[in-house]
Structure 1
Amino acid sequence: MAKNYFKSKLFLKYIWSYLFILLIPLVLMTIFIYKNAVTNLRSEIEQSRLNQLTQAKVIVDGRIKELSEIATRITYDKRLTPYRVHDPIFSGEAIQGLDQYKSTSSIIDEILLYFHNDEKIYSSIGLYDFDVFAGAYNFQNWPKDQLYHDINTVKFPTMRPVDQASKTSTSKKQDILTYLVPITPNSPTPHGTVMYLIQESELSSLIDTVLGNYQGLTYILDSAGHILIDNRQGEALTDSAVKSLINLPPGIHERSINGEAHSVVSVKSETNGWIYVTAMPSSQFFSSVLHVRSFIIMLFCITVLVGAAAALLLARMQYQPISNLVEFASSKSRAERSHGGAAASGNELDRIRSALQEYSSRIDLQEPFARNHFLSMVLKHGYVQSLSPELQQAFDLRFDRSHHFVAVIGSGRTNAAASNDRVKRHERIQLLNQIEIPELRAVGYGVELSQLDQLGLIVSFDLDDGTDAFDRVRDIIEAIRTSLLDIMDDIKAIGVGTCYESPDQLNQSFIEACSAFELRASAEPGAVAYFEKLSDTPNQADWIPSNTLMKLSQSLKQGSYDVAAQIIGSAMQNLQSSQVSALLIRCICFDLLNAMLRTASELGITNVAQDVATAAISGNAPDELERSFLTLASRICSQVEQNNQKEEASLMDRITAYIDEHYADHSLSLESVAFAFSVSPSHVSRSFKEKVGLNFIQYIWQKRLEEVINQLKTTSDPLKDIILRVGYQDTPNFTRKFKKETGYTPGQYRKLFSENEEVRQLSDIDED
């Protein structure tokens, strides 16, 4: 069934908005368009002429520049020196060279080379005596004496106006432009002249289209006001009228010429000072718009008739997405849930805004879990530089400082006690979420570890020149410790890992922080254990420091093979560089082997390591020992990963069973389940999604939905009672979500199921 949009005030506003947008400009246009039509048309034509004149100017300037460049090349062409052109042996090369230069420009009809006071003139087709050349071309307005004088005295490039020349060979008169370029160009004492003969049509064709279909004329004038090229369509100007156009500045002008108003457009070349001018009678503009009035009246009538229909169509098209959003928001809006749907009569945009605010709050609730998962991956694998910079920006995390380390903070409370004090843990997490210590140029990011009594802290700081890194770490930890003790009385200990310059080594610092936390020497509340100081114990090994062995043990317990491999490789490299005998190296390496076997024994996986340990003992060369140790570390880490996965799967199975048993409890939440099993909420959120495939909220919703469907089928209890029994306290919201999942409201679903059940029973009776 079609939606009745006219009931929506917002939809009606859309229609009126489109009508106003459509009709008001049309009315204004109807009033002013006729008066402005002439001006607009004139402006367009004049601008078009201006653009075309500018384009013609650019093209002509380019052609003239080509001719100047050719003259320059001729000047320095060895084939065209006075000596070689006069030499009978090389004169043929000169003629051939001129022919080649002629072919480089499309506007050259003929190119000639003349050396001052010479009786010869050279062209691309042969050698002329000057008298023969003057008689052959026979310029109408350029007598032989003047021609001889000009080519001997010209000092600047000069374009002569169009002149008729009649070649004796063809007896046909041609309109020719002559362009004289002294050589060497720009020299105060030129020794010759390059003369170009250019067909007038080659340049006039560039201005043929400037006027279009309009009457008028187009000129190209030189800087002295002489007409070089003209193009006339329907009229001519007197010489005095033409000269009046010279002094016009470039642009568009209104001038009276021969007693008639003209639109004049002028463009001046910056290269040679030539002026490009068009003059067009203004009366032509009025005759071009006589039809506009009748056209406007017809357009107005058609637009008024079509406007309403167009406004309705556009309003409906634009309102359709809003309608869909409103329907979606109506099913999600918390405001409507609390008012039982009464908000449906309100403004649609308000309901959409309310729904967006609700979803934004849900995202805010999920962001801490995503952020904690991101930081957990940093602690486990390092390689911060390869992680998504978009995620770092989204979580407001920056690892662009010079030094980085990890600290593990223990509360000293048992998991059971910690699970009963959620408020304090939440406060501790909020405090450590992001710590800034401006005076020490440090920032810290808190990470929830899987153990309830421990929290991780990733710290980044910039180190001043000359300041010891460990001293700065100690100052930062002391500042953090003081802040924590001011508001908490249950800080058991703090383990601090080594400071590294690259954030990619944060996983190593985390392993070291765990080692320091486990092997702390003091039981005093709030005591700090630094991994770097653990090597100062009295029973320190001579060759392999005790902190290295502790770090190796902790990396195996964490299942971090990358860190373990780096420790083993570094230890073996140090032993080999110490220049002791291979036998002594084997003896010293028993410290590494014992540390790994002891760790494996503590983890309960000695049977896995037995065969690898035997191979390590029987090895001889240090390289063989290192490979055996790496194999042993790999086997231990793999087994730890498997054990962790089994424990994780078992934990998630127990959590799933717990949810299946308590899903009807309205107080069931991620935090309550996490504390019930003594693990962090972030750990439960991440692992539950990986194991079940649904997030925590979705899984509980599915369980409650299934139970409601079952009770709708099997009982006649009121819907509100059923919804309350499954732990849902918001009946209107549940109804909307139920309809979204099934396509029916709970009442419709019950009725439909009852009808289907009756049909099935009747069918069974008929079969009997």
Structure 2
Amino acid sequence: MKWNHFKSKLLLKYTLSYISIFLIPLVILTIIIYHNAVDTLRSEIEQTNVNQLNQAKTVIDERMKELQDIAFRIAYDEQLTHYWTHHPYYSRESIGALVKYKATSSIIDELFLFFRGDNSIYSSQGFEDLNVFTKNYKFNSWNKSEIVHDLNNVQIPTMRPAEQVVQGTKIQNSMLAYLVPIAPNNTPAHGTVMYLIHESNLTGLIDSILSDYHGMTYIFDNNGQVLAANYQGETITEQEVHDLFELKPGTHSLTLNQEPHSVVSVKSDSGWTYVTAMPSNQFFSRIVHIRTFVILVFSFVVMMGTVLAIMLARRQYHPISDLMEFIRMKDHPVPSTTSNELEWIKKTLHDYSQRVDLQEPYARNHILLMLLKHGHTGEFPAEFTEKLGIRFNRSHYFVVTMGWESKTLPIGDNLEKRPVMQLMNEVDLPSLSAYAYGVELPQPDQLAFIVGFDAETGHEASLNARMEPITQALQSMAEEHTGISPAIGAGNRYSYPEQLNQSFIEASTALETSILHGQGSITFFHTLSGTGEEDSSFWVPKDVLLKLVQSLKQGSYDVAVQMVSTALNNLKTEMPSVPLLRCICFDILNTMLKTASELGIHHVVNQLPRVTSYDSLEDLEKKLAGLAAEICAHVEAKSETEESSLMDEIVAYIDANFADYDLSLGMISSKFSISSSYFSRSFKEKVGMNFTQYIWQKRMDEVIRLLLNTTDPLKDIITRVGYLDTPSFIRKFKKETGYTPGQYRKMNSPNAGDSVDDDDEECM
């Protein structure tokens, strides 16, 4: 049954909130935009013009610098000395050089080279006398005598304002003359380079920034003279022009020719001033259009705000509704009296979080068990282990295994080992600079501890001595909690947690020896190799063979291969005689075959001819590694088969006895000799739900079957399936289905009679 949206106060709050969020800011924004749109847009346009005018200024300044650089190169060009230019033969090369210099700048219309005191002048056209300024280039206000005077006396680069120049018989062009004195090696100027530049070459760079706007463009020199200008058909007075020059850099609003203008002014490092003046009505009309459009859009949004708010509120509420429906379908029906869905979801998530916390010890134990068996945590990343509180930040690590004789521990649901795991899940030994993580093994009478401690790298004996008090402290704690001192086996210590699988193999081997010595004994693996005279001629260390046997028994291929390699490397170092070498190699092979036989793997004997025929120790190592791989694979497959078979047997037992009042996790663990955490994890992997959920579902299905197919009283039915607390079962049944058992029977079994609801009332 879907949650009724129309009854939701949360949905109503969402709707009102979104209406307020939409409408109130929109109305305020509309008023603000109405008053500020003009100023904002105008400021943006003017700022854009400032930036673009600065770009044009930079380009023009670079062009002027290029012209000065050209004059500088001309001054030092050997082909353009007084001697070469006047020489009857080399003068042609000088003219060619001028042509090349002219081509280096796109704004030069013509380039002249004049040597002071001379009666001639040189250009890209060739050698000419000074009458060229009365024939080919006739300035409107700059006569020949003034030109000659300026060419002979100019001391600094000087730009003359643009004026009309008649070029031969052609039409007039507005051109600027740029005079640059040349003086190589800091000597007095001996000549002048004069450039003729079309005015449009400069004003065109500025006009390009105006885009589709139309306005006036001015370039002023240091003294306020108009060097170049583009009036775009407008005329202003000289005073207004002077006012433009006096403006500070930036944007301004002026009235020019009785019309408001937007003016942009920038100054270059050379002292030139660049000014653009645009009639304001050009972009004010655009601003009016934009402002009108904005007002229309905001008006439309205001009108649609309420509709959009309702739609958005429903959209926002939809995931909450789906989440409530999802949880209700699981095992948390939504109470009809709830007033705030979010509070109820928060409570439900809190319940789920508690469930996760209950599963955390199983996940933690699983990761540590993988580390013991394989030397890594599998697919679980380091971040996950960190969240579970598993950290490896000590200098040395080793594994301790504890074992009790099964008959010494009480049988039933109150196994003493369970509180031991809870109390020794993580042990801190600050006085010994050590800590330990408890790991529950699949065997019900064994525990393992991953121990980490800090110690400076030193003598082997001193490090082994550090391990003894730590192991004794763990034994004392276990004895304190169980009342029984366990047998303990301790593996060698290693520097990296990835080597803990080796230490676990060693600890398991030591535990087998320790159990033979009786409860309370402690055996360290490094003591098993033996130091007596009987081992003096034994080429393969005893501890290597012990680890090899244990690794094969546990299916740990990596450790087994490493032990084979270690054994053969020792033989390579000792270099025994060939007969003795063969005997020792057969001893290693015999150890592996004997272990395989104990594990029930008899077919590997058939590989004996292949393994015993080897040409070198390297060849033998490969064949022994292959044999180890086959044995370990068989052990792993057998373990998986036995586990699957055991789970099938347990599931079958539960299906047959789910109505037993005493059925519990502890009872199953004890009956089938398996640890509770290992059973819980394996059971969930097998059936897809945990033990408690599975029992509840079986009992639930049986109750529904009896409700629909019998007329037995509800209390008898509930008791028959193993549930003693009848009122609690009815509440959980209603939470699961939405109905009481009596209502469910009446709805799905019409012939059940009208008295079924009375069972509910009686039981409640």
Normalising to structure 2: TM-score of the pair?
0.79
1:290-346 deviations in Å (ceiling 9; x for gaps) = 899998997787666544333323322222222222333445576x6xxxx646432
1:681-717 deviations in Å (ceiling 9; x for gaps) = 3322443344445554564455345434433442245
CA positional deviation for 1:447: 2.5
Map 1:444-463; keep pairs closer than 5 Å: 444-460=436-452, 463=455
- Is 1:352 equivalent to 2:345 in the alignment? yes
Q: In terms of Rg, which structure is larger?
A: 2
CA positional deviation for 1:142: 5.3
1:107-164 deviations in Å (ceiling 9; x for gaps) = 53547474864888776x6445473765544444555566667778878776655444
> How many residues in Structure 1 have an aligned counterpart in Structure 2?
735
Letter in 1 for 2:508: C
Equivalent position to 1:558, from 530, 536, 554: 554
Local SS of the residue matching 2:476? helix
- Is 1:315 equivalent to 2:313 in the alignment? yes
Partner of 1:631: 626
Partner of 2:757: none
Partner of 2:675: 680
CA change 1:545–1:483 in 2 (3 A) is: closer
Partner of 1:101: 104
- Is 1:379 equivalent to 2:372 in the alignment? yes
Equivalent position to 1:56, from 53, 56, 68: 53
Tell me, yes or no, if the aligned pair for 2:475 and 2:486 is still in contact at 8 Å: no
Map 1:70-149; keep pairs closer than 5 Å: 81-82=78-79, 86=85, 87=90, 90-91=93-94, 94=97, 97-98=100-101, 101-102=104-105, 107-110=106-109, 112=111, 114=113, 117=116, 126-129=125-128, 131=130, 134=133, 136-140=136-140
Partner of 1:417: 409
> Distance between the aligned counterparts of 2:165 and 2:178, measured in 1?
14
> Distance between the aligned counterparts of 2:590 and 2:200, measured in 1?
102
Tell me, yes or no, if the aligned pair for 1:116 and 1:193 is still in contact at 8 Å: yes
Identical-pair percentage: 43
1:705-732 deviations in Å (ceiling 9; x for gaps) = 5434433442245678756654674544
- Is 1:504 equivalent to 2:498 in the alignment? yes
> Distance between the aligned counterparts of 2:251 and 2:214, measured in 1?
17
Local SS of the residue matching 1:604? coil
Partner of 1:392: 385
Partner of 1:172: 171
Letter in 1 for 2:642: E
Letter in 2 for 1:557: K
Letter in 2 for 1:647: E
CA positional deviation for 1:403: 3.8
Normalising to structure 1: TM-score of the pair?
0.79
Local SS of the residue matching 1:345? coil
> Distance between the aligned counterparts of 1:629 and 1:383, measured in 2?
24
> Distance between the aligned counterparts of 2:14 and 2:447, measured in 1?
56
CA positional deviation for 1:577: 3.2
Letter in 2 for 1:328: F
CA positional deviation for 1:745: 9.2
Tell me, yes or no, if the aligned pair for 1:248 and 1:266 is still in contact at 8 Å: yes
Partner of 1:654: 649
CA change 1:613–1:255 in 2 (3 A) is: same
> Distance between the aligned counterparts of 1:149 and 1:473, measured in 2?
106
> Distance between the aligned counterparts of 1:506 and 1:155, measured in 2?
90
Equivalent position to 2:575, from 572, 579, 582: 579
Tell me, which stretches of 5 or more residues in structure 2 are unaligned? 753-764
Map 1:191-230; keep pairs closer than 5 Å: 198-208=197-207, 217-222=216-221, 224-230=223-229
Tell me, yes or no, if the aligned pair for 1:404 and 1:506 is still in contact at 8 Å: no
Local SS of the residue matching 2:439? strand
Partner of 2:759: none
Partner of 1:760: none
Deviates most, 425-434 or 280-289:
280-289
CA positional deviation for 1:277: 4.1
Letter in 1 for 2:484: D
> Distance between the aligned counterparts of 1:69 and 1:139, measured in 2?
25
Letter in 2 for 1:554: Q
Map 1:725-740; keep pairs closer than 5 Å: 726=721, 729-738=728-737
Partner of 2:544: 548
CA positional deviation for 1:503: 3.4
Tell me, yes or no, if the aligned pair for 1:434 and 1:446 is still in contact at 8 Å: yes
Local SS of the residue matching 1:456? strand
Letter in 1 for 2:318: Q
Deviates most, 245-254 or 595-604:
245-254
1:57-90 deviations in Å (ceiling 9; x for gaps) = 2354146436646875896799965369853575
Partner of 1:761: none
CA positional deviation for 1:515: 2.1
Partner of 2:476: 485
Partner of 2:528: 534
> Distance between the aligned counterparts of 1:322 and 1:597, measured in 2?
64
Map 1:685-704; keep pairs closer than 5 Å: 685-692=680-687, 696=691, 699-700=694-695, 702-704=697-699
Map 1:708-719; keep pairs closer than 5 Å: 708-717=703-712
Map 1:17-36; keep pairs closer than 5 Å: 17-29=17-29, 34=34, 36=35
> Distance between the aligned counterparts of 1:597 and 1:656, measured in 2?
36
CA change 1:292–1:387 in 2 (3 A) is: closer
- Is 1:663 equivalent to 2:658 in the alignment? yes
Equivalent position to 1:327, from 312, 325, 328: 325
Map 1:461-472; keep pairs closer than 5 Å: 463-464=455-456, 467-468=458-459, 471-472=462-463
Map 1:604-615; keep pairs closer than 5 Å: 604-605=600-601, 607-615=602-610
Map 1:395-406; keep pairs closer than 5 Å: 395-399=388-392, 401=393, 403-406=395-398
Local SS of the residue matching 1:447? strand
CA change 1:325–1:139 in 2 (3 A) is: farther
CA change 1:674–1:272 in 2 (3 A) is: farther
1:448-487 deviations in Å (ceiling 9; x for gaps) = 22122323333455654x5457745653663464266244
Tell me, yes or no, if the aligned pair for 1:53 and 1:276 is still in contact at 8 Å: no
CA change 1:30–1:380 in 2 (3 A) is: closer
Tell me, yes or no, if the aligned pair for 1:586 and 1:622 is still in contact at 8 Å: no
1:469-514 deviations in Å (ceiling 9; x for gaps) = 7745653663464266244343424433333334332222221222
Equivalent position to 2:637, from 637, 642, 666: 642
Letter in 2 for 1:388: P
Local SS of the residue matching 2:529? helix
Partner of 1:762: none
